[in-house]
Structure 1
Amino acid sequence: MTFQIQPRLLFLVVFLLVAPKASEAAGIYTPGLTLSVSNANDVWSSPGSTFFLGFRPISTDLPNSFIASIYYSGGVPIWTAGSTPVDSLASLQFLSSGALRLLNGSGHTVWDSGTADKGVSSASLDDSGNLSLFRNDTVVWSSFDNPTDTVVPSQNFTTSKVLRSGLYSFHLINSGNLTLRWNDSIVYFTRGLNSSFNVNLTSPSLGIQNIGILSIFDPTLPSGVIMAYSNDYAENRDTLRYLKLDGDGNLRIYSSDSGSGTQIARWAAVEDQCQVFGYCGNMGICSFNDSGPICGCPSQNFELVDPKDSRQGCKRKVETVDCPGSPTMLDMENTQFLTYPPETDSQVFFVGISACRSNCLVSPSCDASTSLSDGTGLCYIKPPGFISGYQSPALPSSSYVKVCSPVDPNPSPYAQLTGKGGGWRMHPWVVAVVVIGTILGLVAMEGSLWWWCCRNSPKFGVLSAHYALLEYASGAPVQFTYKELQRATKGFKEKLGTGGFGAVYKGILSNKTVAAVKQLEGIEQGEKQFRMEVATISSTHHLNLVRLIGFCSEGRHRLLVYEFMKNGSLDNFLFVSEGQSGKLLNWEYRFNIALGTAKGFTYLHEECRDCIVHCDIKPENILLDENYAAKVSDFGLAKLINPKDHRYRTLTSVRGTRGYLAPEWLANLPITSKSDVYGYGMVLLEIVSGRRNFEVSAETHRQKFCVWAYEEFEKGNVKAILDKRLADQEVDMEQVVRAVKVSFWCIQEQPSQRPMMSKVVQMLEGITEIERPPAPKALTEGSINGSSINVTSNISAFSTTAVSVPAPSSSSSFQTTGVSLHASGKNIERASSSLLRSYTEVHSEV
């Protein structure tokens, strides 16, 4: 029998077999489909081709390892099926049972959606990146409800969800706090709502907007509360911004431009990577070099668990139970073993440094210990188990680890070169480097002798100026001789001003560059330390920071050379007399100066590798260039004046200026970046008012101006605070109100109530809503006529009362627990403040 098929019917059959289903083209897929690694074009796409589901290689170094993931245009993954990489024969199957299953080349199930026999009839990938499995119109499973390590815009992250990456996890808890945990136990980061939100959350959730704002939402809150924001906030609409928990244990906000395949970190929860618990594995010690964090072992008594991966930690070459004799303690200066909750509940003691070491040595339940070495007497005991270490020259702590004798410290760079102490042998390339270095050294020595003999030649002066210009252009600090600077300033003739760190003179360098030369006073550091601090200052670059050009260090002569600011310091424009109306700044300039200054301090506090606390914020240290752009000067000089850690400075070494000193300076409490925030708040109020904060008048009822200003603010009379000389000019009152509110938040007595400088920037720009600030208490400071002071009085009664108990701070890497300790700290703080006021009243005429 012969069948004849009509041509029209034949065309219809061929079309149904060959043409793709219209539902699949719209991002909807039916069971029976398979994605395989072998077919690179085998992907599911969202309707707008913004997101794709398919296989991607893990990295170029591992070409045969793949992950099945949902990825953004360009290849950045936002969700992964399973945590185990698969081989080149793997497949992702959408089974007829309704399950989505990932199989390795061997047929082993790597991951399963768990939706078999639940009536799943279709799958959909939408343009927000959400993969959903449907039973008719009901969602049975979705990738947004089962996140892996990433949260994207439109995704609702609740307390029932968790992000994971290796041993690290990120949780949103019922109180609204964001927490990072190691091994689901150690909480090494937590951030919650500030104290102004006195509410009990019922069902908090976390979301990130595509413009880069991370916010907490809850029915009890009138709107979302901003927790963090990307530093490229709302810059580009074709950019995906997302929250990701990385394998190094840090939570970050990333940006990825459409189609680029690159991701750039824009915010990090833990600013200091070495503060992430377990970053370098068990017994690993985290430290920094020029490129970032590195991992090593405590000493040569240890060896890496995996020589190819230093983050896997270290192990003893000989365990202490197998020691031929008795174990001893390895002493490590400037090192601490991270101790977070719940460890702090039972492992903190108040003993001396030597007792912290010896008690651990004799105790079988102690493997290591850390003494803070800051006068608090805090000692953290580490039992056998997982121990995470951090080493930095800035850490005021010492740590101890049990090892078998003899103690074999890590070799110095010289020992590594020669083979002494470390057992290393000298490689031929090392010999070549030494020989070449010796030759170059001899050439340099000959050049130095020639320079010494010919430096006074006129021709040499021109050549020297040329090379000085090259060195200046390269960004490296130029080393000047004292005679050069003496000649540049014409014998230090034209004084630009005098500050707390020394006098400043105008100078013209040999390359015709105009500069400001500062003669430092009271330098206590040696030559090496001075040069190290200068190198740190010169490497700190920002649009709103005065650039350091060079330095001079000859015997007792210590000078710094800065770029010249044409318009001088801010005080010359704020506190002008009636006859100097030409120097009056309008509101637009003032607001831009306030914002630029805040951005400069944000960089110093939060964006440098090491936080730089200024310690002397005042209008005199805010300079203006030819365009009236603000630049902060004198940053980093506090350590030059006093080599000890300025965060723990006592009454015997206070350096600051009346009207700008935070209360903790004279209460013998730790100095942090929040102390700078206080000074900035005072300056901000002066920018608005054009008046010194410590001045009193009949108008202010003989009160400090800041106290009177808050009373006017409470009355809703913000115009009374504004500089009266701006009455006839156009002023943005919304900006004025924001600035006044921010200033009152910054000058709160308790450091914990003051915002970080990045938050100040957001509030000034109007990105973050500003709550009504509480009344700042009237604060007094021991100082003279608004000039910089150096208090040297020693008051035994005050010192006895203000014992060194750290002020409670959410940013502290060590946390003390216990109600009694907390209460005693508060009592001490109140007693210190009371005694401080009494002391100031008695000595106000000093």
Structure 2
Amino acid sequence: MLLQTQNNKPNKMAQNLTRSNLFVTFLFILSTFFFRISTSGTDIQLGSSLSVSNLNRTWSSPNNTFSLRFISLNSSSFSLSITYDSVAIWSISTTVDAGATFSLLSNGNLQLLSGAGSVMWQSNTSNSGVSHATLDDSGNFSLKNRSNFVIWSTFDHPTDTIVPSQNFTVGMVLSSGSYSFFLNKTGNLSLKWNNDILYWSLGLNDSVSSNVSNPTLGLQSIGILSLYDDKFTSSVIMAYGSDYAESGDILRFLRLDNDGNLRIYSSAKGSGNVIVRWTAVNDQCQVFGYCGNMGICSYNDSGPVCGCPSENFDHVDPNDNTKGCKLKRAVADCPESVAMLQMDHTKFLTYAPETSNVYYVGISECRGNCLSGGSCVASTILADGSGQCYIKTSNFVSGYQSAALPSTSYVKVCNPIIPNPPPSEQGGERKKLQGWVVAVVVLGTLVALIVLEGSVWWWCCRKSPKFGGLSNQYALLEYASGAPVQFSYKELQEATRNFKEKLGSGGFGAVYKGILANKTVAAVKQLEGIEQGERQFRMEVATISSTHHLNLVRLIGFCSEGKHRLLVYEFMKNGSLDCFLFSTEGDQSSRVLSWKQRFDIALGIARGMTYLHEECRDCIVHCDLKPENILLDDYYSAKVSDFGLAKLINPKDHRYRTLTSVRGTRGYLAPEWIANLPITSKSDVFSFGMVLLEIVSGRRNFDVSNETNGKRFSIWAYEEFEKGNAKNIVDTKLRDCEVDMDQVMRAIEVSFWCIQKTATQRPMMGKVVQMLEGIVEIEKPTIPNVASEGSMSGSVSAFSTLATSAPNPSSSSSFQTTPLTQP
């Protein structure tokens, strides 16, 4: 019985399996049938059309998320677009009139016709086997053949927008007006004006070691812009929106706007709101051509605005200031002489390939060369330490004006020059009248109050012995250009919590972290050894505060109360350069600077020192340049600190100088400090050479180790350079990083030129900048002072002996010796 049951069991299983298979097959056929019905229901057949006359008719995706339709721009202008809610993600750039139609012709060609029957756009897919079209739920509109093979699609022909699921490859272009967005073969993202001027680029970071073979850019649905390539183990993040990975039914898209900026947007379904989540060019005025030809971009309280250089110009379109400006009278038709209109704090944007017309001349030469040059229309001279003069000879000039710009620009116009009126005078007559009334009332009230208060104060305090001193202080601060804020000692005590958090100390005193009353974080330096009188101290501080450069630490204010002398500087988040260069590889808290960061830092120091030596009204010699006095901001840009302080520490009798008064640091002091020679800017050049060598090597120039055969590192480095072993000099912490050996060689050669024994052999800092940038050719340096210990005699050899000892670089030298007569 049991045997029979077992024998019959396979037959029953087979029967059940057969019935099950039949049922599954039936369901499959049924689902396929319904799927085909559904698919055919969303297919757009040949001969279908849309028209402006019926804006309610659309071609939609299966879930109705996306629609292809005409949208109204104004009462007489319309655009054909694919939309998500009301947001266009693909549009034909040509606008049409109220009689326009869009058709999928019987020959498979898409065609947009105006009301007059003119062809405004077409897909050029005639006789390509197109049988139907579809708009899928990702927003892709496609022309397909009977095998559903895609012959043409909007994803393959983007206009100004990329959406998730869309691949943007090399050769594709996003366009908006005169602006274009590209993906290069190297994986770089680029924005160009007029397919020529490259004004923004974003490349792969240093962490990507693979070469790129076939890059593809895509925007993930969570808002991350990623680069894909066959050689990447995973995608590389190029940018991400501020709301990335937030949940909800949200469409995120990348768009090139008509203002030339690339942005990531997000739009929640049904909200109708579009929110910017990422912007490529943070400073809109840096977008080339944003204000049109000869337009000057600046900012007001609401954002960027466009104006003209002066009233010698008119707006091309009075209704749209971004269209640019034109001269009222062409320079070629000047009835009188030609003049150069000067615009302070203004620069004309210069991007590749325009950067060839760059010269290194003074401000008067930059103006004069343009005036005398027939093809020159404008010029810009930078006051950022680079000394660069840009000559504009093109037919398109794009300007930027801001109080923060250290530059002056000139524009060639016909005499007489008619400057723009102040902003208060640019309104209507009624607004002018109201402004004058308000101004008169307010000023009258203020004057009356000031006179009254001043009279009372003078009457009460005129006999006070402090009155004269206070008057002198206020007169001094009024006289000093850009005078710093004066703090009381109590205010700085409170700001630093009674000098609790010490940031460091050096030859001029200790530095403490403080938070000022306006919540600004600052570095407060307590000066030591100040011997000037009150007035002289204030004059020197005023001089320091009037020295402004991108690569100099800014002085905020000071305190001078009795024996208390303090300086208040801007706070540098990343501290001093030595913390990055001389940390050990095993130090878990150490941060390694890439070679690019190091080279940029070296250039920044050189530019800052060039400004102090060659571009200030009075040359400022630092006297204590070292890594501890190079501070790094949030972006690791170098800023030189403690400049100008050497003049505050001079001894009372300036006819003598002893080594106890030397505030420089052993290992960075030029030989003339010891050899009774004049201390000039070339002494700083020597110190810079030592610092530059340390930036390359990550080691102190006076280090002695087995690796250097018991010699100081600076001596050993020159020997390796002579042998052609420059790689041995480079910081070992960079062994696995990308290093530009051409830049390394330039830096090494420049460092050896800077530390020459004789000051006259050392280059000026302006020349150093050019040598580092590769603008001028560098000859092979001769044997510098550090490489020939036996070549020095007398007091100079004493310097060699002192410098060979291992000093403490964070403190100034304090040699005991006989006084040396200062020339």
TM-score range, shorter chain: 0.5 to 0.7
The equivalent residue for 1:330 is 341
Change in 2 beyond 3 A, CA 1:349/1:493? closer
Structure 1 residues 66 and 530: alpha-carbon distance in aligned structure 2, compared to 1, 3 A threshold: farther
1:537-556 maps to which residues of 2 (within 5 A)?
A: none
Which residue of 1 is the match for residue 488 of structure 2? 482
User: 2:630, 2:638 within 8 Å by CA — same for their partners in 1?
Assistant: no
Separation in 2, partners of 1:265, 1:232: 5
What is residue 431 of structure 1 aligned with on the other side?
A: 436
> Which residue is equivalent to 1:799?
763
**C-alpha spacing 1:217/1:314, structure 2 compared with 1 (3 Å):** same
1:411 aligns with 2:421: yes
1:69 and 2:84 are equivalent in the alignment: no
Q: Structure 1 CA distance, aligned partners of 2:516 and 2:212?
A: 62
Q: What aligned pairs does 1:237-256 form with structure 2 within 5 A after superposition?
A: 238=248, 239-256=250-267
Rounded Cα–Cα distance in structure 2 between residues aligned with 1:796 and 1:317: 53
Give the secondary-structure state (helix, strand or coil) at the position aligned to 2:761.
helix
On the 8 A contact 1:349/1:380 being kept in 2, the answer is yes
User: Is the aligned partner of 1:367 residue 2:372?
Assistant: no
1:483/1:338 CA distance change after superposition, 3 Å: closer
Mark the structure with the bigger radius of gyration: 2
Pair 1:569–1:117, CA change in 2 (3 A): closer
Farther off after superposition, 403-412 or 435-444 = 435-444
- Please list, as runs of the form range in 1=range in 2, the aligned pairs for 1:310-321 lying within 5 A after superposition: 310-321=321-332
AA of the residue aligned to 1:438: L
Alignment of 1:421-460 (within 5 A): 427-435=432-440, 437-438=442-443, 441=446
- The answer (yes or no) to whether the contact 1:216–1:224 under 8 Å persists in 2 is no
User: Against the structure 1 CA distance between its residues 511 and 91, is the aligned structure 2 distance closer, same or farther, given a 3 Å change threshold?
Assistant: closer
Identify which of 308, 314, 327 aligns with 1:303: 314
Residues 1:497 and 1:833: Cα distance change in structure 2 (over 3 Å): farther
Cα deviation code 1:594-615 (max 9, x no counterpart): 79x99xx9xxx9xxxxxx99x9
SS in 2 for 1:232: coil
Deviations 1:726-782 (A, max 9, x none): xxxxxxxxxxxxxx98997599898899xxxxxxxxxxxxxxxxxxxxxx9999999
The separation in 1 between residues aligned to 2:152 and 2:323, in whole angstroms, is 36
Q: How does 1:344-743 map to 2 (within 5 A)?
A: 344=355, 347-348=357-358, 353-372=363-382, 379-383=389-393, 385-412=395-422, 416-417=424-425, 427-435=432-440, 437-438=442-443, 441=446, 482=488, 484-485=490-491, 488=494, 496-499=502-505, 503=510, 526=542
SS in 2 for 1:252: strand
Q: Which residue of 2 aligns with 1:154?
A: 165
Q: Secondary structure at the match of 1:799?
A: coil
- After superposition, the C-alpha distances for 1:396-443 in whole angstroms (9 at most, x for unaligned) are 544332211112233345xx54x9xx9989722212431453377479
- Per-residue CA deviation, residues 40-77 of structure 1 (Å, 9 max, x unaligned), is 6543333344433234455xxx57654322233x4332
Corresponding position of 2:729: none
84-93 or 271-280, larger mean C-alpha shift: 84-93
Question: Residue type of the partner of 2:80?
Answer: A
Counterpart residue type for residue 53 of structure 1: L
Instruction: For 1:450 and 1:256, locate their aligned partners in 2 and report how far apart those are by CA, in whole Å.
Output: 63
Q: Secondary structure at the match of 2:762?
A: helix
**1:167 corresponds to 2:178:** yes
**Following TM superposition, by how much is the alpha carbon of 1:134 offset from its aligned partner in structure 2, in angstroms?**
1.0
Residue 38 (structure 2) pairs with residue 28 (structure 1): no
User: For the structure 1 residues 562 and 804, does the alpha-carbon distance in structure 2 shift closer, same or farther, using more than 3 Å as the test?
Assistant: closer
Which secondary structure state, in structure 2, belongs to the residue aligned with residue 145 of structure 1? coil
8 Å contact 2:489–2:559 — kept in the other structure? Answer: no
- CA positional deviation for 1:283: 1.2
Matched AA of 2:443 = T
SS at match of 1:411: coil
Return closer, same or farther for 1:452/1:373 CA change in 2, 3 Å cut-off. Answer: closer
Work out whether residues 298 and 304 of structure 2, in 8 Å CA contact, stay in contact via their aligned partners in 1. Answer: yes
Checking the alignment, whether the CA contact within 8 Å between 1:172 and 1:178 is kept in structure 2 is yes
* Contact 1:177 1:193 (8 Å CA) reproduced: yes
8 Å CA contact 1:76, 1:263 repeated in 2:
no
Q: Shift of the alpha carbon at 1:133? A: 0.9
The question of whether the paired residues in 1 share the 8 Å contact of 2:576 and 2:628 is answered with no
The answer to whether the 8 A contact 2:630-2:640 is kept is no
Q: Matches of 2:368 and 2:138 in 1, distance apart?
A: 59
User: Against the structure 1 CA distance between its residues 132 and 697, is the aligned structure 2 distance closer, same or farther, given a 3 Å change threshold?
Assistant: same
Identity value in percent: 42
Q: Say which of 214, 217, 221 aligns to 1:206.
A: 217
Residue 694 of structure 1 and its aligned partner are, at CA, apart by 10
CA distance in 1, matches of 2:639, 2:358: 35
What secondary structure, in the 3-state scheme, does the structure 2 residue paired with 1:140 have?
A: strand
8 Å contact from structure 1 (residues 281, 312) kept in 2: yes
Match of 1:284 among 295, 299, 324: 295
Q: Which amino acid aligns with 1:388?
A: S
Deviations 1:618-664 (A, max 9, x none): 89999xxxxxxxx9799998689689xxxxxxxxxxx999999xxxx
Check 1:332–1:431 CA distance in 2 against 1; reply closer, same or farther (3 A cut): closer
Aligned equivalents of 1:657 and 1:258: distance in 2?
65
Distance 1:103 1:554, change over 3 A: farther
CA RMSD for the aligned pairs? Answer: 6.6
How far is 1:79 from its partner? 1.1
User: For the structure 1 residues 107 and 441, does the alpha-carbon distance in structure 2 shift closer, same or farther, using more than 3 Å as the test?
Assistant: farther
Task: Tell me the TM-score normalised to structure 2 length.
Answer: 0.59
**Residue type of the alignment partner of 1:54:** R
Partner Cα distance (1:426, 1:314) in 2? 25
**Which amino acid is 2:108 matched to?**
G
Asked whether 1:52 is paired with 2:67, we answer yes
**Contact 1:798–1:835 under 8 Å retained in 2:** no
Q: In the alignment, residue 318 of structure 1 is paired with which amino acid?
A: R
CA deviation after TM superposition for structure 1 residue 27, in Å: 4.5
Please name the residue that 2:121 is paired with: 111
Q: Aligned partners of 1:186 and 1:176: how far apart in 2? A: 19
1:127 is paired with a residue whose SS is: coil
Q: Distance in 2 between matches of 1:291 and 1:656?
A: 49
Go from structure 1 to structure 2 and tell me whether the alpha carbon gap of 1:807 and 1:437 turns closer, same or farther (over 3 Å shift).
farther
CA positional deviation for 1:92? 3.8
Q: In the superposition, relative to structure 1, how do residues 336 and 551 fare at CA in structure 2: closer, same or farther (>3 Å)?
A: closer
Pairing 1:139–2:150 present: yes
Match for 1:99: what amino acid? N
Q: Mark the CA change 1:506 to 1:176 in structure 2 (over 3 Å): closer, same or farther.
A: closer
| AA aligned opposite 2:62 | P
Q: Distance in 2 between matches of 1:342 and 1:506?
A: 45
